[in-house]
Amino acid sequence: KAGVTQTPRYLIKTRGQQVTLSCSPISGHRSVSWYQQTPGQGLQFLFEYFSETQRNKGNFPGRFSGRQFSNSRSEMNVSTLELGDSALYLCASSVGDSPLHFGNGTRLTVT
């Protein structure tokens, strides 16, 4: 069974631009969560989607948004990028009460 797939693996953007990251969950997993990982703040929860609806949201500004499609694939968008948005963005999928399974992440660098 294929794992969680995130694309692209690396991105370089300029301050003020926007970016879209993509995540394909494990087949059969309907819940997709996003996390931001930085050296300073560690791993922080962004949001979770289930059946195309945002089910939970972390403490991030409105510049961070996401969506989920009917096939459970998810995208997250960051608008008006800031230097501090440079991070590894991790997507995870799960089914029911099972543990989260993470992808390899997208490394975003904002210059």
Question: Which secondary structure element, helix H or strand E, spans residue 56, and what is its range?
Answer: strand 53-57
Residues in the chain: 111
Q: Considering CB under 8 A, how many residues would be counted as binding another protein?
A: 22
On the CB side of 34, CA atoms within 13 Å amount to 32
Q: Does 31 bind another protein (CB under 8 A)?
A: yes
Site map 44..63 versus another protein, x via CB under 8 A: -x--x------xx-x-----
Place of tokens 């300029």: 14
Q: How far is the CB of 45 from another protein (least distance, A)?
A: 4
**What whole-number distance in Å separates Cα of residue 82 and Cα of residue 73?**
26
Interface residues with another protein (CB under 8 A)? 4, 6, 31, 33, 42-43, 45, 48, 55-56, 58, 90, 92, 94, 97, 99-105
